[in-house]
Amino acid sequence: MAAGANDASAPGSHAGAHASVRDLARLWPWLRPYRGYLIFMLVIATLAMVVQSVLPIITAALIDGPIARHDTSGMYPLIGLALLFGVLEAVLFGIRRRAMNISSLAIETDLRRDFYQHLQRLPVSFHDRWPSGQLLSRVTTDLSTLRRFVGFMAVFIVANLAVIVVVLVLLVRLQPMLGLAVIVVMLPLAFATRLYERRYNIEARRAQDLTGDLATGVEESVLGIRVVKSFGRRGQLLRNFTGDASRLREAELSKNRTLATLWTIIGTYPQLVLAGVTCFGVLAVAHGSLSKGDLVAFITLQLRLNWPLMAMGWLIAGTEEAVAASARLFEVLDTASDITDPVEPARLAGPANRPARLQFDHVSFRFADAGADTLHDLELDIAPGETMALVGPTGSGKTVLTSLVSRLHDVTGGAVRIDGVRVGQLSLLELRRTVSTAFEEATLFSASVRENLSLGRPEATDDEIAEAIEIAQAGFVHELPYGLETRVGEQGLSLSGGQRQRLALARAVLGRPRVLVLDDPLSALDVHTEAQVERALRRVLGATTALVVAHRASTVLLADRVALLDGGRITAVGTHSELMASNPAYRNLLSQEVRPDACLDANEARV
């Protein structure tokens, strides 16, 4: 089960942390382009609600005037004025809703785009730590919560406060002593509201974190459905899901209990005040200090005050959810990437298709949360056009070493150089055009075969794509229902492991990069297909500088030289034959013997 909000050490897990309104204020850069819409929307909504508050005054004038005098003709102007105010209110609400949709959806779109761009900029180390469900819940649920706040709740908080102020002023104007009494007895309500607001903030944050946990669990179980079914672990996964769902249910119930208590207080207290107002108002009318019309207007205004007060409970709850959502959002946006473009990028000399020299100059690397280096003072020099095989036991650091070339991770000591230039001095765009990588775990996207192949080189021609397919022995794509336009589905799971690996290899070689990094790209291929791919690869490897992680002796034979990596150090470098003859550790690692004629064929192919 994924780490989550109930694990205080997990990224994004701050259940119990108290966010503040300052987190909402940080949204201003995204609100600024639409401030005209927002101000217009705020003014219109406030005017519409104030117009509603004026209607009781018209009612009072109607009762104390034409109705009291039995003047039928005098009623029509006041009725017409009330009708005009009603129509004006409806028109204002319609205009406000249109402005709300335009601005709030645009703000949400901008936030979602910038959040996604930031995720793409963050280093691999960040994504290794953060559960994908937590990120998914932020880019969907939390952003939708912020849209509702910006487009509706923020506007009506201001509008409701304006109505409350206007109504209280009108109450004091109608009957000063009674109006002031209403203001005084309402003060405890503000205190109670603030108390429950703080509690709701914490509970809302916990529920949002647990939603991310649940999303992570669902995503992992769906992506791993083949493993789940093959091991018959549906029951275990269901229990895990039920546990996550139960924790989320309890968090939501706790949140709703707090909200229900708040609504009960906000709903009941004004009714008690209204009962008192009615009693004292009737006595005031009986003693002649208040007219019947003013009493009706006072009670109507008091009733008009109840709805904004009750709505404030819901609006405050929504605001607290928005505060928690913005805090969760900025947890990611505030994470700075330590792999960035240099201020003044260097440029590589020579044509873009010329093989480059790749050097590891006293390279060390340590993960941020590790107590020791994974790679230690590592030196390796790969000449232009040379293919270097990297061999080593599991856990020796081979994959980490290959990730340093394209700066998926950055060295913590020494330097990786391409043609003498530190990779950190190159712009990321130029570096990743220069270096192409095929990983052992072939990742494909829910897109067409053509889109997956041309991911690193969108301008590739049909002839170049066909050549890459031939090199990777991926001709099976032509037998798919729509050929290159066939969509391969999420993670490419509609294809076999070997097919995915061949497409990933074709993608890597398509651009004919100056440096090619292959992390055991043939591990999922059968012996026959592997031999065909290796024969085709030799043509490509002769025109580029290549670093190939190898676990099979047949893959090692593709290389001009072999580097043995053990314990994070390069312990030997030489040809396959030299290492087999002189290095016992290398012989033990490649325990399967290679046929002499295979060695001869490989050597002849490189001549």
Of 568, 569, 450, which is closest to residue 510 (Cα–Cα)?
450
Q: Strand, coil or helix: what is 114?
A: helix
- Fold of the CATH domain 21-333: ABC transporter transmembrane region fold (1.20.1560)
d(Cα 532, Cα 177) in Å, to the nearest integer?
96
Using a 10 angstrom Cβ sphere, with 0-12 exposed, 13-18 middle and 19 or more buried, the burial of residue 560 is: middle
Q: What is the 3-state secondary structure (H, E, C) of 410-471?
A: CCCEEEEEECCEEHHHECHHHHHHHEEEECCCCCCCCCEHHHHHCCCCCCCCHHHHHHHHHH
- List CB contacts of 244: < 8 A, sequence separation 6 or more: 1, 4, 210, 213, 214, 217
Mean pLDDT of 547-551: 88
Range name among 233-242, 403-412, 477-486 with the lowest pLDDT average: 233-242
Query: pLDDT: is 504 or 19 the higher one?
Result: 504
Q: For residue 513, give both structure tokens.
A: 């990069």
Of 571, 573, 567, which is closest to residue 559 (Cα–Cα)?
573
- pLDDT at position 11 is 56
Q: How many CB atoms lie within 10 A of CB 156?
A: 21
Phi, psi (deg, nearest 5) at residue 347? -125, 145
Range name among 140-149, 224-233, 524-533 with the lowest pLDDT average: 224-233
Say whether pLDDT at 142 is over 60.
yes
Mean pLDDT of 544-562: 87
Helices (DSSP H) in 32-152: which residue ranges?
A: 35-62, 68-69, 75-121, 124-129, 132-137, 143-148
Contact 507, 455 (CB under 8 A): yes
Contact 216, 130 (CB under 8 A): no
Contact 369, 412 (CB under 8 A): no
Q: What is the 3-state secondary structure (H, E, C) of 552-579?
A: CHHHHCCCCEEEEEECCEEEEEECHHHH
Sign, CA dihedral 144-145-146-148, equals: positive
- pLDDT at position 14 is 46
What are the beta bridge partners of residue 364? 413
Contact 557, 598 (CB under 8 A): yes
- pLDDT at position 267 is 72
Mean pLDDT of 452-466: 87
Mean pLDDT of 80-100: 76
Mean pLDDT of 530-555: 82
Contact 517, 587 (CB under 8 A): no
Q: For residue 556, give both structure tokens.
A: 């090692």
CA 329 to chain centre: 8
- pLDDT at position 7 is 40
Q: Which of 161-165, 488-492, 564-568 has the highest mean pLDDT?
A: 564-568
Q: Which residues of 89-127 are buried (b: 16+ CB within 10 A; e: fewer)?
A: beebbebbeebbeebbebbbeebbeebeeebeebbebbe
- For 265-277, how does the pLDDT look when each residue is reduced to its tens digit (9 = 90+)? 777 777 777 777 7
Contact 419, 350 (CB under 8 A): yes
Quick one: what percent of the chain has pLDDT higher than 90? 18
- pLDDT at position 255 is 83
- 371-377, Cβ contacts within 8 angstroms, sequence gap of 24 or more: 373/412, 373/413, 373/568, 374/400, 374/568, 375/400, 375/401, 375/568, 375/569, 376/567, 376/568, 376/569, 377/413, 377/414, 377/569
The CATH number of the domain covering residues in 358-441+513-606: 3.40.50.300
Say whether pLDDT at 577 is over 70.
yes
d(Cα 121, Cα 142) in Å, to the nearest integer?
20
Say whether pLDDT at 595 is over 70.
no
- pLDDT at position 68 is 67
Q: For residue 262, give both structure tokens.
A: 């708040």
Q: For residue 165, give both structure tokens.
A: 């102020």
Q: How many CB atoms lie within 10 A of CB 46?
A: 21
Contact 323, 23 (CB under 8 A): yes
Q: How many CB atoms lie within 10 A of CB 497?
A: 14
d(Cα 509, Cα 505) in Å, to the nearest integer?
6
Range name among 25-29, 432-436, 438-442 with the lowest pLDDT average: 438-442
| Sheet of strand 569-574: strand arrangement | 435-438, 515-519, 545-549, 387-391, 561-566, 569-574
Mean pLDDT of 145-174: 82
Mean pLDDT of 40-67: 72
The pTM of the full predicted model, rounded to 2 decimals, is: 0.71
Range name among 248-257, 285-294, 356-365, 453-462 with the lowest pLDDT average: 285-294
- For 202-255, how does the pLDDT look when each residue is reduced to its tens digit (9 = 90+)? 888 888 888 888 887 887 777 677 667 666 777 777 888 888 888 888 888 888
- pLDDT at position 19 is 61
Say whether pLDDT at 563 is over 50.
yes
Mean pLDDT of 4-29: 61
- pLDDT at position 229 is 67
- pLDDT at position 555 is 82
Q: What is the mean pLDDT of the chain?
A: 81
Range name among 118-122, 165-169, 471-475, 569-573 with the lowest pLDDT average: 165-169
Of 440, 437, 322, 392, which is closest to residue 569 (Cα–Cα)?
392
Contact 26, 20 (CB under 8 A): no
Contact 217, 133 (CB under 8 A): yes
Say whether pLDDT at 433 is over 90.
no
| Distance between start and end Cα atoms, the chain | 53
Query: pLDDT: is 592 or 524 the higher one?
Result: 524
- pLDDT at position 439 is 81
d(Cα 84, Cα 88) in Å, to the nearest integer?
6
Q: Where are the domains of the chain?
A: 21-333, 358-441+513-606
